Amino acid sequence: MMTADISARLTDFPAGITAIDADYVRPRLAASHLVVDGGRAAFVDTGTTLSLPNLLGALAAKNIDPADVDWVLTTHVHLDHAGGAGALMQALPNARCAVHPRGARHLAEPSKLIAGSIAVYGEERYRSLYGEIVPIEEARMLVPEDGERIMLGSLTLELIHTPGHALHHYCVVDRDHHRIFSGDTFGISYRDFDVDGREFIMPTTTPVHFDPVALCNSVDRLMNYKPRAIYLTHYAEVRDLARLAGEMKHRVRAFADLGRQHAKAPDRGQRLRHGMYALLSRWLDEHGFPGDEMKRHWLLDDDVELNCQGIEVWLDRGAA
C-alpha cells in the first residue's frame, strides 16, 4: 500500500536520483536512494523493514513497476541501511542484492546481526526500530569484489570497498555523472544542521569496526574520483566536498584523540560522552548553527551514544 503522503517523503535530484525518507527515528535522518536510468531502477540502501511502504510508494509515484528494479545495493549491513533488504527483495521479482563479501552471510542468515543490534539497542527498542528481519536467498545476491562494475540501464556503477566505518562497507561510484553513494563512509550531514545552505559533517563511529586510519583513507579514495556530489544515507546530497572531506578527516582524528585521552579513565564512558557532545557543539558553534542546548541534544544524543560505544570497542581492541 502506498503511503498517502509519499510526495512529502521524496526529494528529487538531477539525473534520476530520488532520496526517500526511510522514516527511521525522525524525519530526514535516514534515506534510501532510488536511482533510475532508461526505465531500470536500483535502490541504494533500504532503511528498515518498516521503511518498505515508503520505498514501494516511491516506485508507484515514479510509475516504475517493481519488476523493473534490477538492484538493491546495500552499502553495508547495519540495519538502518540494510534491515529492510530482505522484505524489499520479496517485492522485487527481478532484483539482485549486492552485499559486501564480509556482510553477505549476515543477510542470508541474520540471527547474529539481530543479536548484535539487540546488544546495542536493547530488545524493546530494537523491535520498535527494525521490525522483523527477512533473510535473502544467496542465489539472489551479488557479492562484489573491490572495484566490480554493474550495469543499471546505460549506467556503469563501480562498487568499491571502503573500510573504516565498517569492514563490510562499499560505496557506489557513478563516474558518468561524477557522483558517489557513500553510505556512512563520508559521514553524517543532517539537513537540520544546514546554515544558509552550508552543510555540516560529522563521522559516525558506531560499533564494531571503527578504524580512524582506514576511514580517512576511504574518504581520500572517494575524493580521488573527483565527485561533484555525494549522496549520504544520513542525509541525501552534499556538494561542498573539498571542505567537507577536510572537516570529516579532522573530526575522525579528533574522535580518536578523545578516545585515547580517556582510554584508562575509570569513568571512561561518561567522559567520552561529555567530551564528544562538547566537540560537536563547538563545531556547530563554528558552523553558525543557532540551535539551543535542548535542540542540540535532541539531534545529537543518539549519535553521541552510538559513536562512543564504537570508540570504546576500538579502544578495547588495543587500537590506542
pLDDT at residue 116 in the model: 82
The answer on pLDDT for 320 being more than 80 is: no
Torsion of CA 40, 240, 184, 135, to 10 degrees: -10
pLDDT in tens, 50-64: 999 999 999 999 999
pLDDT in tens, 232-250: 999 999 999 999 999 999 9
Strands 170-174 and 179-183: antiparallel
Q: For residues 20 and 69, what is the distance between their CA atoms, to the nearest angstrom?
A: 15
Pick the CATH number of 6-247 from 3.60.15.10, 1.10.3720.10, 3.40.350.10, 3.40.50.620: 3.60.15.10
pLDDT at residue 125 in the model: 87
Q: For residues 83 and 139, what is the distance between their CA atoms, to the nearest angstrom?
A: 19
- Mean pLDDT for 72-87 is 97
pLDDT band at 119 (very low <50, low <70, confident <90, very high): confident
Task: Centre a 10 Å sphere on the Cβ of residue 308 and count the other Cβ atoms it contains.
Answer: 27
pLDDT band at 4 (very low <50, low <70, confident <90, very high): low
Q: Looking up cell 563490510, which residue turns up?
A: 168
- Local structure of 282: helix, strand or coil: helix
More confident residue, 2 or 81: 81
pLDDT in tens, 100-116: 999 999 999 999 888 88
Q: For residues 299 and 308, what is the distance between their CA atoms, to the nearest angstrom?
A: 16
Are the CB atoms for 230 and 222 separated by under 8 Å? yes
Q: Which residues contact 226 (CB under 8 A, 6 or more apart)?
A: 178
Torsion of CA 39, 43, 48, 50, to 10 degrees: -10
Q: For the chain, give percent helix, strand, coil, nearest 5.
A: 45, 20, 35
pLDDT at residue 248 in the model: 98
pLDDT at residue 2 in the model: 45
The answer on pLDDT for 3 being more than 50 is: no
pLDDT in tens, 252-263: 999 999 999 999
The answer on pLDDT for 215 being more than 90 is: yes
CA atoms within 13 A on the CB side of 128: 7
- Mean pLDDT for 206-231 is 97
Grid cell digits, residue 176: 558518468
The answer on pLDDT for 310 being more than 70 is: yes
**CA end-to-end span of the chain, whole Å?**
50
Q: For residues 32 and 35, what is the distance between their CA atoms, to the nearest angstrom?
A: 10
- Measured CA distances, 249 to 187, 195, 255, 278 (Å): 10, 21, 10, 18
The answer on pLDDT for 98 being more than 50 is: yes
pLDDT at residue 155 in the model: 97
pLDDT at residue 147 in the model: 98
pLDDT in tens, 7-35: 999 999 999 999 999 999 999 999 999 99
* DSSP H stretches of helix in the chain: 52-61, 79-82, 85-91, 104-108, 111-121, 123-130, 212-224, 241-261, 268-287, 293-316
Q: Which residues contact 38 (CB under 8 A, 6 or more apart)?
A: 153, 154
pLDDT band at 266 (very low <50, low <70, confident <90, very high): very high
Mean pLDDT of the chain: 96
Are the CB atoms for 46 and 83 separated by under 8 Å? yes
**Where are the extended beta strands (E) located within 117-209?**
141-142, 148-152, 155-161, 170-174, 179-183
202 CB burial (10 A radius; 0-12, 13-18, 19+):
buried
More confident residue, 3 or 296: 296
Q: For residues 12 and 307, what is the distance between their CA atoms, to the nearest angstrom?
A: 30
Q: For residues 124 and 127, what is the distance between their CA atoms, to the nearest angstrom?
A: 5
